[in-house]
Amino acid sequence: MEVSAEVIARHFNGEIIGDPQVKVSSVAKIESGKPGNICFLANPKYEHYLYTCKAGIIIINKEFKPKEPIAPTLIVVDNAYEAVASLLDLLNSLKRSRRSGRSFFSRRAWSSRIGRGAYIGDFSYVGKKSVIGKGAQIYAQVYIGHDVVIGENTVLYPGVKIYDGCRIGANCILHSNVVIGSDGFGFAPTQDGSYKKIPQTGNVVIEDDVEIGANTVIDRATMGSTVIRKGVKLDNLIQVAHNVEIGDNTVIAAQTGIAGSAKIGKQCQFGGQVGVAGHIVIADKTSVGAQAGVLGNVRKEGEALLGTPAIDYKEYLKAYAVFRKLPKSR
């Protein structure tokens, strides 16, 4: 679907320099832009592409002053980088058609409830007493167990599995093969050296506006709930163990593992492959670098950590400068 510069500028409250009626249908990098594309310039090192770019529209920052004439129509905004995320959302919403109704090949329990405008795709199943909110999009081969609640306008992509009793909020996105509510890793050692399984009787509660990447697993609580608060963003391939709580608007990158009963604060940022020990508390706005191991409580808000065991990143860099120069053992 094509959209005009006039519509895009109105969306961003931006200023148009050039033809307001020029139309674009896709986003491209500024170095490869062509007619029908919209590009953006946020990093000055790419400025030279601006003067040769063939795109229909380019988004630039207000403070930027071109040194040469520019052929494409410009849309001037406060922050070009932030505008791109909003632009992609705009184009996606114009292009994406929401479905409604239920596939002939899907199945639902008679006691389940499906909200107005919701969609249930091929070979998906909705269990007893489960509730699907208005406008929810349940794609093919999704399993929704008994007594599950799925909020309004939430999207479950193909292969998602929601175990019994779990709660998913409104406007969430769960990508393919996410598993919500699998048993926590609870086993008690016995005298003969074997392990007895501890029943996992709780559930998972996911609040509104959460996005969960493909193949991520969130375990149900042993008792009570594993809780993912509002606005959390989880990447692909993340393991969240039983009774974990993740605070509002925290973002976590791929291959991170969070052990049982850890409590992670609001607005934290975790890099890839971070390990978090069980039964610890991490303060709000903590940043943890890739491959760090957080083994103890982080009480001070806003700390930045690196290494294993994770320490203040400045201290870690000082230590690294020393140990990388240590003589090799002979």
Closest-CA residue to 142 (of 105, 185, 101, 97): 105
Angstrom CA distances, 306 to 111, 235, 313, 325, stand at: 50, 20, 5, 19
In the chain, the amino acid numbered 192 is D
| Interatomic CA distance for residues 22 and 56, integer angstroms | 7
Burial 107-123 (b: 16+ CB within 10 A, else e): ebeeebebbebbbbbee
Query: Under a CB-based contact definition with an 8 Å cutoff, are residues 2 and 26 in contact?
Result: no
**Candidate list 146, 175, 242, 279, residue with the active-site label:** 242
* Active-site residue, 242 included: yes
Long-range contact list for 74-82, CB < 8 A, 24+ apart?
Answer: 74/16, 74/17, 74/18, 75/5, 75/8, 75/9, 75/12, 75/14, 75/15, 75/16, 75/17, 76/14, 76/15, 76/16, 76/17, 77/12, 77/13, 77/14, 79/42, 80/40, 80/41, 80/42, 81/40, 81/42
Closest-CA residue to 259 (of 246, 272, 268): 246
Query: Under a CB-based contact definition with an 8 Å cutoff, are residues 162 and 150 in contact?
Result: yes
Q: What are the residue numbers of the active site?
A: 242
